[in-house]
Structure 1
């Protein structure tokens, strides 16, 4: 079999594929507009986020059997159409769940303890102890929305810090992880001191967290998002930061991550968001560690091997 690889991947991928008898054609510099014609004759494609794989892109893919998404989310795939063509989707959330969980823990500690703010101040010769007094995670109630690979990995780490962890997942019942309580969404609104989002981007979750959603929380809230930027309305975050209903926010993802394509409204919202001392922004790197970069390949190829052997 022959696979086309259209995004940059860890160098281990070609040898891992070769061990399965698959020839990898590594073309990470291929232009988006050239991908469709290039797919003709290939048995599989490996993609990260270069293109949206839909009917138009697959029109020449006469032999394609596998679409391998090197990462967790599959929001850049037209799943219904792909499955209607009998193609198998393989993704690798197991490969970067630990990296994402560690990054989210890091964001939480940084947020509650003013680490980014105080670092900037000290480097500017401002020594403000009282203004940077922090909060402890111990004793807090941390609410998670979404309990897939990422949510579970984060919860399994944070539960050991003496906090209460409550989870809402619309599509999972009977969650029975030690120290973690499954609750209804109303209890998240009622009890959470901290909210962490771990849902995929779908039509249902797009801008799910907005001004109205955040107004339902009974306590002032610290907010974390390491899922997808379009799950959260920046205008909603900004509104509640301005009214102090949000104590702070740490975002690894934003609505539009191609910053050179900001609309005027997006630029205004981003500038306003960036002006808050209690906001931490990272460039979609939760889950993107040196270790996960290689581990994603291993997960993809292990799953591919199981499919071929089935």
Structure 2
């Protein structure tokens, strides 16, 4: 099997290149590519490793026909069009923990710098002025720190601040009472944080909900003398408002590591009093740069070589331990979906995937997505397990995932049901020997059949003579039967035949099969 090819288009630790190579990937290290240059070569790669410089736009993704994964060495993915990546079936990963400590420490450093006016005092002292009385600072101890965002980085800032004897109040809609208690922080509303905090630091991603969360109106709700720190993302804080409030004295000091436009060669904040700025250094330590580079290389290699998904932003995570356990079930789920999809010739209204037995104890999200992919692929060749849920949602298809704790006749079973305007059809499968997908039930009728490259599916009235007439037609058409599986709901009722054949069945022969007396549906299938 050919080795996956990975492109590193930003500056990463040389160790990342070594990891890709050691794990069995071909890797090209080409930092500094211009957008046109990236578009010209990206079609050759299954993986793209980036930092913040490379822009993974919809235009790039449109020509990245082989691309399976984009790995961002760092937290922020503002430079990746995740919606476009998802629609093209590309997994987007980041490394949220590799530089969390470094960024949190930088926020604390800026708090100290702003509180004690360290940069100005340094410049004054080295200029020989010795202006000791000019730089009157404030202590952090026993002050109230307001956290906006208490996730990976915010929680580390909280721990460090508590170590400095600060009181911490946190606004985060996703912060549970239990987690707040564990951290020793007080949960609060945004209004409460604004009103009570002596220092405010933001640690949220930039989304439509968080954009400008420290707007001019919200900044005016803070107490006079507040100090603001932003080491998260430009756009979370109204820069012009901060400048005006620094000038007026309402804000006593501000520390900014990130800006709306970067690189920030010019900014409305620059020159404001009591302002400390750094050039996006939050993750700029030797340890962090090494950590995120190694982490993104490991994650991408795992996905490309084993199917394990870690820190994905648009697909369920699958641990390296679970990936081999899921692999045969992924095969079964896809085949069941494909079986149902190939038999569906009208608009799909709903898809239900049920899991019973041991499989119900696994992480079934990827199984649901690959089953949905199988259902949709006969109609949409561009669908894959990453974009299948999006495509289903866009088409108004209701998707249900159900786990049953009850025991079954098999160790594990997956039942997939497709509802259209006319009917609901179900197909159930299991694994024989832990790895061989088999069909065990169709529309409530028990049957036992393997999947094969060439199959014939027939529903018919259970009457004598059908098998003989079908066998005669296949023989006359020079089609050899490999296996023949039958099932029925009751004697003389509805019957199902699944026939494995050695070669494709022509349209002409299918027409003759459909014409057999009692045949209600006949379809050639392939897996």
Assess same fold via TM > 0.5: yes
1:24-43, aligned counterparts within 5 Å?
Answer: 24-43=27-46
Q: Name the residue aligned to 1:94.
A: 97
Q: Name the residue aligned to 2:133.
A: 130
Q: Name the residue aligned to 1:283.
A: 279
Aligned 8 A contact 1:201 1:228 in 2: yes
State the distance in 2 between where 1:172 and 1:63 align. Answer: 39
Q: Name the residue aligned to 1:255.
A: 260
Q: Name the residue aligned to 2:288.
A: 292
Q: How many residues align?
A: 301
Q: Name the residue aligned to 1:167.
A: 170
Q: Name the residue aligned to 2:247.
A: 242
Which of residues 8, 12, 15 is equivalent to 1:9?
Answer: 12
Unaligned runs of 5+ in 2: 309-322, 324-527
Instruction: Output the aligned Cα RMSD.
Output: 1.7
Aligned 8 A contact 2:61 2:84 in 1: no
Aligned 8 A contact 2:8 2:31 in 1: yes
State the distance in 1 between where 2:294 and 2:155 align. Answer: 21
Larger relative strand fraction:
2
1:41-56, aligned counterparts within 5 Å?
Answer: 41-56=44-59
Question: 1:306 Cα deviation (Å)?
Answer: 4.8
Question: 1:219 Cα deviation (Å)?
Answer: 4.1
State the distance in 1 between where 2:22 and 2:54 align. Answer: 27
Aligned 8 A contact 2:158 2:183 in 1: no
Which of residues 15, 19, 24 is equivalent to 2:22?
Answer: 19
State the distance in 2 between where 1:305 and 1:5 align. Answer: 13
Aligned 8 A contact 2:47 2:69 in 1: yes
| Cα displacement string for residues 33-71 of structure 1 (whole angstroms, at most 9, x for unaligned residues) | 211121113111011122332321111111111100111
Larger Rg: 2
State the distance in 2 between where 1:302 and 1:27 align. Answer: 19
State the distance in 2 between where 1:154 and 1:254 align. Answer: 20
TM-score normalized by the length of structure 2: 0.55
More relative contact order, 1 or 2 (CA 8 Å, 6+ apart): 1
State the distance in 2 between where 1:220 and 1:29 align. Answer: 43
| Cα displacement string for residues 117-159 of structure 1 (whole angstroms, at most 9, x for unaligned residues) | 1111112222222221221111100001112222122222121
State the distance in 1 between where 2:115 and 2:174 align. Answer: 30
Which of residues 149, 173, 179 is equivalent to 2:184?
Answer: 179
State the distance in 1 between where 2:272 and 2:213 align. Answer: 24
| Cα displacement string for residues 270-293 of structure 1 (whole angstroms, at most 9, x for unaligned residues) | 4xx3242x1101000111111111
Report SS of the residue matched to 2:104. helix
Unaligned runs of 5+ in 1: none
Which of residues 181, 203, 208 is equivalent to 2:213?
Answer: 208
Aligned 8 A contact 1:14 1:23 in 2: no
Question: 1:249 Cα deviation (Å)?
Answer: 0.3
State the distance in 2 between where 1:29 and 1:198 align. Answer: 29
Aligned 8 A contact 2:47 2:300 in 1: no
Question: 1:162 Cα deviation (Å)?
Answer: 0.5
| Cα displacement string for residues 220-249 of structure 1 (whole angstroms, at most 9, x for unaligned residues) | 200000011222221110111122110100
Q: Name the residue aligned to 2:107.
A: 104
Report SS of the residue matched to 1:274. coil
Moved over 6 A (4+): none
Aligned 8 A contact 1:190 1:218 in 2: yes
Aligned 8 A contact 2:39 2:60 in 1: yes
Aligned 8 A contact 1:233 1:255 in 2: no
Aligned 8 A contact 2:35 2:55 in 1: no
Question: 1:112 Cα deviation (Å)?
Answer: 0.7
Aligned 8 A contact 1:75 1:202 in 2: no
TM-score normalized by the length of structure 1: 0.91
